[in-house]
Structure 1
Amino acid sequence: MTPAPQVVIVMGVSGSGKTTLARLLADAWGATCLDADDLHDETARARMAAGLPLTDAMRDPWVARIADELTTRVAAGERVVLAFSGLRRRHRERLRATGLPLRFLFLHGDKALIAARMRARSGHYMPVSLLDSQFDTLEPPTGEADVATLAIDRAPAAMLREALVASSCA
């Protein structure tokens, strides 16, 4: 039997609704909500704000910081919901390598819908111009047993209900 998760990772391209769902899920589950974007260094944020995508070499130390943060929090007795792009399989594998009981929720949706959401938000460093690079970088989690796919074209409350069941947090 698979252990109950201590970490649920809400993943997908920028604008897919990761942060919104992660906050709702953390509130419903009584968990700490973390946004992986907060663990980017200033160089990475400036690069993305300038409309330049990150390279894999730039992402690797970021993913290591995320893994360390999750490990520290779970060791302190916290349950965590993380909003994290998780675009590359190797990044997901790095988080799995922590040995923490975790589940992934992959937010999947239409590029046009996501672009409209990105244009509607304010105060975010990630420009709509990088959406194509997000989709180009995405290695869908096909065949990864600990990943549930959720369609993003529904209301947040409906997505939350599905997320609670799919992540075994209900």
Structure 2
Amino acid sequence: MKKIILNLAATLDGFIEGPNGEIDWCIMDDDMDFDAFIQSIDTIFYGRVSYDAWGNFQPEENASPAEQLMWQGIHSKDKYVFSSQNRTDGKATFISSDIASTVAAIKKQGGKDIWLYGGASLIKTFINLGLIDQYKISVHPIALGSGKPLFEDLREQVELKLTGTRVFRSGVVELTYEPA
């Protein structure tokens, strides 16, 4: 059965975006091997705002070959968008109700794992419904002081078990957890 993996960057003080949505603090080192993660999934879950911003993003023509390949890999995945808006665009399946049973059905389809891309509202929903199988949090060596927190308005305490760590040249530390 597929696993739902929350894989995202956070600042040392726990923010996933700056106060104005900034993500310019995110570091992408080649030793992170993000391509291996992209190859390990076949599905991406987006919230509507994140999908509108990134779901069909195309890098600029002068972007590095590595960035071009990364986005090609991302765009080759099945995409599901969780939204209260009922819409279609031919590039994703939009889901507006019955999240838990829809997610359970997608997980049973077999294949590779699922990347819970976000945004914050969708992540909070998945945490509160207990739908995340693995948390991969890459802690970046910066403190913003304010912004959008990763863990906000949780219904109850979330107990996790550390299953792995990786340290990268840049000082980013990837922490991998599973529900306890």
Superposition TM-score, scaled by structure 1 size: 0.41
- Compare the two structures and name the one with the higher strand fraction: 2
TM-score (norm 2): 0.39
Higher CA-based Rg: 2
